[in-house]
Structure 1
Amino acid sequence: MEDECFLGREWEVLEQILLAQGPEEISELPLTMGDLLGDDGLGTTCFYLPPDEVAVAARFLVSIDAERSVADHADEIARTFRHGDIPVGYLEVLGRHLEKVRDLYTAADQAGEGVAKLLQG
């Protein structure tokens, strides 16, 4: 299976939302944990999460309500914007990103596959 999910700069906000949802060793799996495959020394790294850890991440992601998780962190998210004004539709975008991440991990788990993650800084 080949599938991609681009989170853009929102990955940091999503990571904070996920970290608040469960134990760090599980909540970090979907976005930033895994075996290091490469690091260019310029801010781009690639990680690989093997199938057994993909299964753990998928179960975790299925257990959370994306929309509610984002709404619960609206105040924190607002602080990241000048004057605390969240752009119209931004919370919905974050919720859709979380759903896409959940769907990617669920599909990979069902196929028994690992997930490679490219983080560009």
Structure 2
Amino acid sequence: MAPKPSPVSVARTGVTPRPPAKRTDAHPLDRGQKAEAQRPETPPAPAVPEPGVATAPVAGTGAPDTPPTVASVQGTPASERRQLNVGVPKDLKLHRRAGLYAEDHGLSRQDQVALALDAWLRERGY
């Protein structure tokens, strides 16, 4: 039982404290079958193909039918390019590694990213 408020505290504030509300640890939706029936069924996650196994792009993705060549990507003018500003983990040292590859092979970082991302998405059907 809750202790009765002292007459002094009631006199000071003019308010009689209410008893504490009943608390439950369960979430309101976890209390019954009705709430369970309201939850939508989640579709299964799509299977990720094995690396190196190419699949046809999903219809409507806008991907060209054939993968781009290095020459076609290098020949794309700046007016036909869009910015792709992404953050990557420092631990992968992608900026440094891509720079070294660019120096050794003459393929800019932006062309490397375009070719690699296109290949990665094609492997997954996009």
What TM-score results when the alignment is normalised by the length of structure 2?
Answer: 0.27
TM-score of the superposition, structure 1-length normalised?
A: 0.27
Report the structure, 1 or 2, having the larger helix content: 1
Q: Which has the higher strand share?
A: 1
